[in-house]
Chain A
């Protein structure tokens, strides 16, 4: 559906093309760090997620990738409201649920469900499969008690399990089967949005494909939208038409699948993709050059000023420490947060964001220049900043 929106420029100047089911704007999650001792004062904050904006369109999937600790799982847990965000908005079908009180969340629980990473801890070992899958029905009282079992068996069939196994316990199943049980549970309430938090990373590679295909079938059959969190770039490419890359609590690049994998513009995305082994190249003996990042990820308690990636970035200059790069739209469905955004090997020598931020090449504010407002919006605009002409253009 995104492709059609691009090809036929719509007459109505809508700021949100397509039909977003979930819009996340400037979402922040700070975990307090308490001092030890009797009086536990807050001595700092882990800025796990710091100003993240994206949108998920109805019936499609957005992939969220990044290394461990970059805040992608935290983002997922905020969207499902397991965590209460420190700030920002989560608009689900237009309604902001970011600060809804835990007591009022029950209707939202039916719409947004989650698939967990570890199928060994996500199922209560003391409950039967029937009890696990049927629990949402019992809690929300959507069907009468005697209708729960047939419904559970139906769901088990949907996810490819034997419906007669409803009275078995989780320990009697393999990892892949357990993950199917978890998927069945998440489907019980017929949700509109599924947050899949690394749904296959705990499984054998041979099982991963089966589960991903099951998720695709489920998506096709029931029209469920996915926020697909993973660190496996290949699976995200397979599953998600749109992908966002996170680094240290921020989205550094977000684009449709082909753009992101073929023409990444952010140095971090490029480094990430260069780390993926390529079977074809290995077969012909050729080797891509790997971009090796130096050092460790900085602490999210005290992140670097300006661009958070600058401490490990080979293109970093003075401006990167002074000015935080905005998540700038540089194509119809492509946003990147880098002062020196460019394709691999073609990074510009001067910052591309000078006009947008109203600064000179060293990052000092230019008197009289006004920075472009509101760059941290979810979704894509009809106008974007063309890197070649350094002008805003539209379609």
Chain B
């Protein structure tokens, strides 16, 4: 009457190892298929390569600085080593490009531009990456909770999102910066200076960024939870945790990944913009933002000093955006074309 559970062994003995490899039917997950589609997209692959180079460079920079290959802090403005003319602009053409200084030297005190922007990429990416992780993480958590619970919790989170989005963000984070940095250093014992300043930027970007992700995730959860496989899982007796993390979450990777790659470049440029407004890591520690901020005064007299950090920011932002577009196309092939 019932399925014969006793003769399980005889009925379906596991195939011999050698046989299995021959007759194995390969199933491709939606993620594997997306990767295959992504690989065929040349532009996205280039963007991916550029992003990868940035990350590798960012990882390598601290070691290169440690071993003296990159030297972002030594001034070249005195004595025999003076690379600046009487107006404190770099000697030579193209911003003082030479064998020792591939991208020239900084006007003013003559630090190596390549070292500063390269090391600056590291700090910029650390800030943008941390803020993006916070943004997407908080967004995913709040979005899943709101979408899955609905009712009062959903409305509460919805109102909270409205509240955060209605803040005059830029003004707030400028005005509150001394106060919060003081809290970070005094109460939470974060070392003063770069760490406190950087952490403040990360936290503030993350705090004001998650509502956008949460809204996207909530919408996705609302559409997923109405599908019948959720009901089927409930019928099996699946626990709440299993529903959220095994049934719903795997269907959220695509929007989360796309949110990640779309958020990341906005934070790289946001770091630069905030630095110009006086919030963030200050020199002598380089970030793309503060190198660019320092170069703006020289944009007429020493264009190349301004050009290199701006160019690096532009390239990474464009690459990340193309990567995000490519990922979206690969993950959701129905959306376009």
Contacts and interface: CB of A to CB of B under 8 A. Distances in A.
B247 A82 contact: no
Interface stretch (B25-33, B48-56, B100-108, B188-196): B25-33
B25 A167 contact: yes
Nearest to A192: B2
Nearest to A152: B12
Nearest to A195: B235
Given A121-B227, A222-B1, A222-B2, A167 B26 contact: yes
Interface in B247-263: 247, 250-251
Contacts of A154: 3, 8, 11-12
A117 B228 contact: yes
Interface residues on A, range: 35 or more
B247 A124 contact: yes
Nearest to B11: A154
Nearest to B12: A150
Contact of B27 (A109, A168, A185): A168
B238 interface: yes
Interface string A107-119: 0011001101110
A280 interface: no
A236 to B, nearest CB: 21
A172 interface: yes
A184 to B, nearest CB: 11
B23 A164 contact: yes
Contacts of A162: 25
Contact of A109 (B9, B229, B231, B236): B236
Nearest to A77: B231
Interface in A268-282: none
Given A127-B250, A150-B9, A172 B228 contact: no
A394 B78 CA distance: 119
B65 interface: no
24 contacts: A77-B231, A80-B235, A82-B231, A82-B235, A109-B237, A116-B228, A116-B232, A121-B229, A122-B229, A123-B232, A124-B250, A125-B30, A126-B251, A135-B233, A135-B238, A139-B237, A139-B238, A143-B5, A150-B8, A150-B13, A164-B23, A165-B25, A172-B27, A182-B232
Interface of B: 1-3, 5, 8-9, 11-14, 23-31, 227-229, 231-239, 242, 247, 250-251
